[in-house]
Amino acid sequence: MKRWDELNEFFNQTRAKVTFGLNALIGRKESETEKTLWVGNWYSHNARDLMRYTISKGYKIDSYELGNELCGVGVSARIEAKQYAKDMATLKNLVKEMYPNPKTQPKVLGPGGFYDKKWFDTFLDASGHDVIDGVTHHIYNLGPGNNPDLVRRVQDPFFLTQIAQTFKDVSNAIDKFAPWSGAWVSESGGAYNSGGQLVSYTFAFGFWYLDQLGMTSVYNHKVYCRQALTGGNYALLNTTTFIPNPDYYGALLWHRVMGSKVLSVTHKGSPYLRVYSHCAKKEPGISFVFINLSKNTSFEIDLFHDLNLNGGSPNFEFKGHKEREEYHLTPKDGNILSSVVLLNGTPLELSDSLEIPELKPKLVDGLKPISIAAHSIAFVTIRDFNAPACS
């Protein structure tokens, strides 16, 4: 268990929330009649031993997820939906036994694979009340990492929007069959097979990544897990130097600026301008993220009271008296395939002591239009925009 001890030391130092994936194939055997199908009950003794050791050491686990990419047609292996639901109940009972205090009891997650409507509906319907705390699914909507079309896809708003149906379908399935649960994206790296070389660790990938975070929130998903912190082309950190790649800073700004309450926002302009809005992470106010997928077009956004909104007066108040806080992310030399990202024109680089640089906003007159440069991403917080949902 030395490796587990070392990992938990790292988790403690970084204050990470830990989800541990359990092997769902232990105890089963391959079907003699159906290729890739595994049959039989899940053998939980191995998980029990791990939990017993983990508890004895005082290690904190946020959640346990059963299996990896075994739902639907599976990836190399699969399990029938009703059998999986039965095994989830076994895991839930085990967690309740090992962690009897409801306040510190880890959540139970599954199935951790690609969405398949028939399989997910059957699984959720058979799982039983309050068994599954988080319904997890994976997203790799950009295709294989060696796809030569990858750079075009991350800039194509029509392609990026296609995956919204999956988010919507998962959310609807939970509302129908497991309303006590919540939707999680428990793994997503955009492009599978380790991501796209010369693409996934560059500024360009932020178009896809931050759009995913926005879409995840809009469709009532609770958690989004990026593949990966380190390892593969889609790592948030350079796999040899551990220097942050551009998406690390995008994720960090999202964490610091965007709150947990999601607001509805639309615009009637170009589809190449993507926009999402939340209550500000630190009250008061609201925050936006603007994603400009266009190579040649910049945008200016005016905020104002729309007295014709829904046929009546707006239910918010925008004064514009306070300066806006703006964080504009652009690629070095305007090259979206650069692995160097600029914040308000300054390259984000580690200090001599390897500390993350301070992420300072640019303060802008609140009554001026918001300017979004071509091929850029901007986080904007407006402190004197009073939305009832944020009060």
Q: Which two tokens stand for residue 183?
A: 């939707």
Q: Which of 9, 30, 65, 69 is catalytic?
A: 69
H or E, element range at 109: strand 107-113
DSSP-assigned letters across all residues of 25-54: -TT-EE-SSSTTBEES----HHHHHHHHHH
Q: Is 187 a catalytic residue?
A: yes
The DSSP letter of residue 229 is S
User: Could you tell me whether strands 134-139 and 107-113 are parallel, antiparallel, or unpaired per DSSP bridges?
Assistant: parallel
Distance CA 207, CA 108 (A): 32
Q: Which of 80, 187, 325, 326 is catalytic?
A: 187
| 284 cis-preceded (ω within 30 degrees of 0) | yes
Distance CA 139, CA 190 (A): 7
Residue with tokens 């500000």: 280
Q: Which two tokens stand for residue 9?
A: 């030391």
3-state secondary structure of 303: coil
Q: Is 69 a catalytic residue?
A: yes
Asked whether the beta carbons of 88 and 132 are under 8 A apart, the reply is yes
Cα-only R_g, the chain: 22
Q: Which two tokens stand for residue 390?
A: 């944020």
Angle 206-362-336 (CA atoms, 0-180°, nearest 5)? 25
Residue with tokens 């889609």: 234
Active site residues: 69, 187
